[in-house]
């Protein structure tokens, strides 16, 4: 009995000490944060375990302009082309809309050999629409001949845990409903910690889908265990946007409605980092989105608005 008490107390105090001195698990470098119009600032987020330079890039709407900004902010201290070639070890592409992959296409002549990870239908669009000799050059190792074999397509199976080569991370991909397309949520894992990144998605109710509900069921245990460091999720329009004109996107109200469902499964969401992505210009809409999210955030979520080229450690 006495020994059990000592073990219990030791565990309690070491857990408390760990809580006070817990170190960052991930570093995110946003290369593009907006959901449209500004071609120099479209969805792309470099993510690595804290202290590592082996990043994966979540979507690739803007690469070069974002890397330049990060260098100007002293996030990186090597030339831009080296960041592209050496630090980005692969790409996770959520869906085939241009605002999520045009940076990858445009930068492909300067890039090095690496993998593009996505669901099969997204890879099919790369093969038939982008890396073709009519729209660009085929830098991949499948599709139209001749193949320049710089990129290797890695098809992700829903739910399966896949290593991200040349990094210390793995990824699990889950389907999202995005109007006429299937989009993707990526659960990136490093040493037991995770980050969840969602590509474009509408709310279940509008999309007539259960994809978000299933995703919330999957991640709720991670939130309970304090293993989920952040959810990166889109809010494209302010609440004034009518449901029939959402085109597979979220508003502040719809995001908070989804977070309430997650809270029921996860217990509390207090202090959970929620990184808001894909805000669509004009700036007046973005300001509205921020106000509306703050007004409806009675779950205690920690709202983060990423800035292009500014690192976030979580
Ligand atoms: Zn988009
Ligand atoms: Zn889209």
Distance separating alpha carbons of residues 302 and 223, to the nearest angstrom: 14
What does the pLDDT read at residue 29?
Answer: 98
Ligand nearest to the CA of 248: 2
**Successive 10-residue mean pLDDT values, the chain, 314 residues:** 51 44 85 96 98 97 98 97 98 98 98 98 98 98 97 98 98 97 98 97 98 98 97 98 97 98 97 98 97 97 98 96
What does the pLDDT read at residue 277?
Answer: 98
Neighbours of 307 (CB within 10 A): 13
Distance separating alpha carbons of residues 152 and 173, to the nearest angstrom: 18
DSSP state of 34: B
What does the pLDDT read at residue 85?
Answer: 98
Distance separating alpha carbons of residues 231 and 229, to the nearest angstrom: 7
Q: Which two tokens stand for residue 25?
A: 């698990």
What does the pLDDT read at residue 22?
Answer: 59
Ligand nearest to the CA of 61: 1
pTM, rounded to two decimals: 0.92
What does the pLDDT read at residue 4?
Answer: 52
Ion ligand 1: residue ranges with CB closer than 5 A: 99, 200
Q: Which residues share a beta bridge with 32?
A: 44
What does the pLDDT read at residue 5?
Answer: 53
Please tell me the distance between residue 100's alpha carbon and the centre of ligand 2 in angstroms. Answer: 7
Please tell me the distance between residue 94's alpha carbon and the centre of ligand 1 in angstroms. Answer: 9
Distance separating alpha carbons of residues 297 and 292, to the nearest angstrom: 9
What does the pLDDT read at residue 46?
Answer: 98
From the list 129, 94, 88, 95, the residue with the least C-alpha distance to 111 is: 88
Element (H, E) at 116: strand 114-118
């Amino acid at each position: 009995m006495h020994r059990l008490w000592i073990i219990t107390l030791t565990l309690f105090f070491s857990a408390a000490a760990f809580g006070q001195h817990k170190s960052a698990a991930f570093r995110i470098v946003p290369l593009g944060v907006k959901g449209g119009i500004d071609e120099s600032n479209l969805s792309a987020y470099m993510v690595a375990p804290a202290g590592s330079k082996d990043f994966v890039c979540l979507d690739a709407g803007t690469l070069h302009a974002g890397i330049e900004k990060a260098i100007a902010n002293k996030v990186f201290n090597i030339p831009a082309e080296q960041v592209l070639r050496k630090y980005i070890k692969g790409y996770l592409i959520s869906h085939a809309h241009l605002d999520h992959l045009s940076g990858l296409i445009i930068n492909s002549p300067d890039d090095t050999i690496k993998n593009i990870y996505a669901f099969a239908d997204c890879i099919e669009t790369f093969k038939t629409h982008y890396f073709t000799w009519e729209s660009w050059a085929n830098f991949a190792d499948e599709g139209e001949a001749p193949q320049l074999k710089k990129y290797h397509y890695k098809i992700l199976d829903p739910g399966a845990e896949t290593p991200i080569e040349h990094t210390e991370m793995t990824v699990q991909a889950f389907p999202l409903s995005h109007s006429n397309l299937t989009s993707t949520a990526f659960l990136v894992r490093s040493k037991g910690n995770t980050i969840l990144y969602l590509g474009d998605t509408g709310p279940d109710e509008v999309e007539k889908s259960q994809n978000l509900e299933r995703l919330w069921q999957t991640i709720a245990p991670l939130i309970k265990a304090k293993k989920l460091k952040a959810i990166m999720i889109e809010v494209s329009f302010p609440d004034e946007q009518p449901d029939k004109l959402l085109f597979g996107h979220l508003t502040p109200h719809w995001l908070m409605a989804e977070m309430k469902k997650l809270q029921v499964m996860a217990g509390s969401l207090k202090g959970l980092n929620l990184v808001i992505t894909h805000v669509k210009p004009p700036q007046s809409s973005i300001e509205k989105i921020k106000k509306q999210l703050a007004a409806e955030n009675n779950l205690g979520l920690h709202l983060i608005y990423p800035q292009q080229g500014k690192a976030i450690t979580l």
